[in-house]
Amino acid sequence: MAESKDKIVELLEEVLKWQRLQGMKILREILPQLLDTEEKRIVYEMTDGKNNQSKIANEAKVATGTVSNWWNIWYSYGILIKEGKSKGRYKKIISLKDLGIPIKPKSFGEKNDHSSRIDKQG
């Protein structure tokens, strides 16, 4: 019985590995289209379920309504998930750094510690 459970776990891990690979390929295609400006990339990367709309809008230099609109669009595409019990709080499903997508804003990353690759030369 334990041997068959081990085999099932092994097979599920193999399926998960291939699903992740396929998902990464799709994300690499769709994210550059959805995040076609530096402001959108900043907003997406800062959408970690902890930062609020005002903080993100201020950092990206966009209106809070713009952040809200982008969040709703991105949620509908499945690149954000709803986070916690706080209504309207979202979280990105993957960091841009994990996909090799750089962010080159003027101040982002210099004042804050975020998990994205920052190109400070631009």
Q: Where are the domains of the chain?
A: 2-99
pLDDT digits (tens, 9 = 90+) for 2-57: 888 999 999 999 999 898 888 888 888 899 999 999 999 999 999 999 999 999 99
**Burial (Cβ within 10 Å: 0-12, 13-18, ≥19) of residue 109:** buried
What is the chain's mean pLDDT, rounded?
Answer: 84
pTM: 0.72
Give pLDDT, residue 116: 39
Q: What value does the mean pLDDT take over residues 49-77?
A: 96
Question: Does the domain at residues 2-99 carry the CATH identifier 1.10.10?
Answer: yes
Kindly indicate the confidence band of residue 86, based on its pLDDT and cuts at 50, 70 and 90: low
